[in-house]
Amino acid sequence: MADPLWTSKDIAAATGGVEAGGFAATGVSIDTRSLEPGDLFVALAGARDGHEFVAQAMAGGAAGALVSRDVDAPAVKVAGDVLVALEKLGVAARERAPQARRGAVTGSVGKTSVTQAVMAGLSLAGPAHSSVKSYNNHIGVPLTLARMPAATRRAVFEIGMNHAEEIRPLSKLVRPHAALVTTVGPVHTENFPDGEAGVARAKAEVFEGLEPGGVAVLNADNRWFDLLAAAARDAGAVVRTFGRAEHCDARLIDFQVPGSHAVVQARFDGTAMDFPILQTGLHWGLNAMAVLLMLQALDVDLDKSLAALGAFEPLAGRGAEKTVAVSGGAFTLIDESYNANPISMASAIATLGARAAPGRRIVALTDMLELGPQQAEFHARLAEPLASASIDLVFCAGPLMKSLWDALPPTRRGGYAETAAELAPRVAEAVRAGDVVMVKGSNGSKAGQVAQALAALGDPSSARPGETR
């Protein structure tokens, strides 16, 4: 059995709860579907009350539960909200690991991929800990903290938001030594009356939790750099910059994609360097600069940082590629289906346009969400980067993507449908050997359904309409 992460005695001390049966837990879970044997099950209130699942959690091997009412299981019972108790457990985890250097990553684009790239570097430097998936909200951040082992030397946390006043309490919970804002753009603007300016101020909340003398890593190319830098300095942070300008601490000089990888040319603290990465998206030039600065701030040496970047593979739904066998050969599927906004969409389209392809360059796009009153305009504007990238065929799904469909010339139109599920078979029918096909859209608009349908074409048990396999 693994060493315990928490004993019931420790949990009770951290949360002010009362033990009802002693136990030792090796992990922390909020969901019986992903619970591992030995986990502490935290009975949060949600669409359904977590207390209803305590028996199921125990049957699945949970060591005990964190609850606010009596249950038939070993437990720590707290008075009040179980989420507040989880936050207290996270604080206790932070305080029992004073040696841990902590980083926080936020921004309108790239949070999850950059967080995991930073984690790759931290892992090479010693015991490390990070967010899993996109656990970046008022539940995911305290859960990630509560899962942090006492022996952790370095950790990185993803912090997200949909509204103002969401990042501040999470940053104060993490108390990072370094905080990165990847960029600020028109994302979640429907929740901000003043648009991007409101988003920028909300992202700047991350600096309010910084440890004294902490480092703020900022994108000098972003239009909101001055606002962010002023907020960081007001919080007492040392500002470190990445971008293309000569004055940047981590300066991107060039980004070339000779094949299935990229070569980054840069100057880091004035020293010239070229290094390979497995990512081929053009945005990864600047992402790499940000990762290097964050790893430096968290006391990882440059050799380990470059080794981590060189081995870091694209995440599922965030640029992962797959070769899919079809009649006459194969096509390449680029799965960008996890999320989308105007910034990431333009970058992904430009990346596809710069790529050599024996066949056609095809995109299948679903709605970008939470863009506010300008949502139709943001979608229609994609016609320009699609033309600049010489994309051969464009497939669109969703009521918002209809604005793009209407703006496309007939020669570029592949097909339109109201939903991703309706679009998927049309894209599958059109694709041929040699094509490079990118699927991108907001998670809520189900772009993943299109990516899954295309990936399934390589399964011998699947068949297109009229085909036998």
The pLDDT value given to residue 239: 98
pTM for this entry = 0.84
CA 20 to each of CA 65, 69, 71, 76, 137: distance values in angstroms, whole numbers, following the listed order = 10, 11, 9, 6, 30
Quickly list DSSP for 244-285: SSTT-SEEEEEEE--SSSEEEEEEETTEEEEEEES---TTHH
Terminal CA-CA length for the chain: 47
pLDDT tens for the chain, 469 residues long, are 568 999 999 999 999 999 999 999 999 999 999 999 999 999 999 888 999 999 999 999 999 999 999 999 999 999 999 999 999 999 999 999 999 999 999 999 889 999 999 999 999 999 999 988 889 999 999 999 999 999 999 999 999 998 889 999 999 999 999 999 999 988 777 778 788 899 999 999 999 999 999 999 999 999 999 999 999 999 999 999 999 999 999 999 999 988 778 999 999 999 999 999 999 888 999 999 999 999 999 999 999 999 999 999 988 888 888 999 999 999 999 999 988 889 889 989 998 998 888 899 999 999 999 888 889 999 999 999 999 999 999 999 999 999 999 999 999 999 999 999 999 999 999 999 999 999 999 889 999 999 999 999 977 554 443 333 2
User: Sign of the C-alpha dihedral, residues 22, 26, 32, 37?
Assistant: negative
Q: What is the dihedral of CA 264, 301, 180, 447, to 10 degrees?
A: 50
The pLDDT value given to residue 411: 96
The pLDDT value given to residue 252: 98
Domains of the chain: 6-81 (3.40.1390.10), 97-311 (3.40.1190.10), 320-458 (3.90.190.20)
Tracing tokens 């207390």 back to the chain, one arrives at 51
The C-alpha angle 173, 92, 126, rounded to 5 degrees, equals 85
The pLDDT value given to residue 192: 80
Token reading at 225? 């750099």
The pLDDT value given to residue 3: 83
Residues in CB range of 422: below 8 A, 6 or more apart: 397
Integer Cα distance of 332 and 346 in angstroms: 20
Q: What 3-state DSSP class applies to 155?
A: strand
CA 351 to each of CA 80, 171, 257, 289: distance values in angstroms, whole numbers, following the listed order = 50, 33, 9, 18
The pLDDT value given to residue 464: 42
The pLDDT value given to residue 469: 29
The pLDDT value given to residue 141: 97
The pLDDT value given to residue 403: 97
